[in-house]
Structure 1
């Protein structure tokens, strides 16, 4: 994922030039919420505390076993953080994508046109820490990408996806309200009093 996209500019990995069609417009690009790496981090930290507290009071063989066990926890943490860093969730005006995998890169796709319904779940922990889960339903067969969990700033991203799915012709939500690209759609009723010819 080294380098930046020539097509989309800074902040967008060069790798995405391979997967995105030139006419696609990126709506958002993100990594899953940091809570994904919280458990491995806390487990590794707890293992280090146990190793430091007990290591001096046990025999050399037990101390070696504890050290090897902690090194395995540390290796797991490094692998989880690496996977988290290289995993990207991308929404474009045409599809939702999940790019993941370290050795073998995989791209799961859900075309926006195939989505018939969408559910948005937020557990109590998700409400406190600021993440949610999207569950997409499509007509016909199962799609490669139907559930995305641990989406940060999920309220905003839910609104953006909903607007793409259920109101594709309307102007999209800008990242920040009142931003330079934000537009408010204005429609006038056909039978308004100023249009009547009495």
Structure 2
């Protein structure tokens, strides 16, 4: 029962509610909703492990030192939880009309780019990203500084790039396909 309660709370906190941003009356449908690759959780996980090590270490030192270790552990746990929640709530969405990104924990930010404004998509895959299956997107448009420029830790970046290119092609925003 406690586990299901915790699971429900995490689900509610982690859902940025993408549906409310869709133009359903205009026929907009989600093609792909991208969450972060599991590698984006490594830093919060390392901080959680460090906090647990501080808690265990507090058992073996004097009481005068133990309280400082416990406070440091609690601060690290809260920080790690906040970072993990930020990763969970960060979504990149590809629709048949546009791409947009929703992120933020307490305040939510929305950055949108119509498919017609996408000039170029760069996919950067560092070595560890190639080994683990993630990459980073960099969108180029006529307006160089926008909130949708860099999308980090995207799982299966080549498949996602092809999906975006397919949506752009189907929308007729690139020239017609020329047969060989």
The TM tier, using the shorter chain, reads: 0.7 to 0.9
Q: Deviations over 1:12-60 (max 9, x none)?
A: x6933321112112110121112112112122213322431x3243221
Match of 1:111 in 2: 114
Moved over 6 A (4+): none
Q: What is the CA-CA distance between 1:141 and the residue it aligns to?
A: 5.0
Query: Contact 2:102–2:110 at 8 Å: present in 1 too?
Result: yes
Question: What SS class does the counterpart of residue 39 from structure 1 fall into?
Answer: helix
Match of 1:51 in 2: 55
| Residue from 146, 151, 155 that aligns with 1:152 | 155
Query: Contact 1:32–1:152 at 8 Å: present in 2 too?
Result: yes
- Unpaired segments ≥5 residues, structure 2: 1-7, 9-14, 173-177
Query: Contact 2:30–2:93 at 8 Å: present in 1 too?
Result: yes
Q: Distance in 2 between matches of 1:141 and 1:57?
A: 55
Query: Contact 2:36–2:91 at 8 Å: present in 1 too?
Result: yes
- Unpaired segments ≥5 residues, structure 1: 3-12, 171-186, 190-198
Q: TM-score, normalization: structure 2?
A: 0.79
Choose between structure 1 and 2: higher helix proportion.
2
Q: TM-score, normalization: structure 1?
A: 0.72
Q: For the structure 1 residues 91 and 59, does the alpha-carbon distance in structure 2 shift closer, same or farther, using more than 3 Å as the test?
A: same
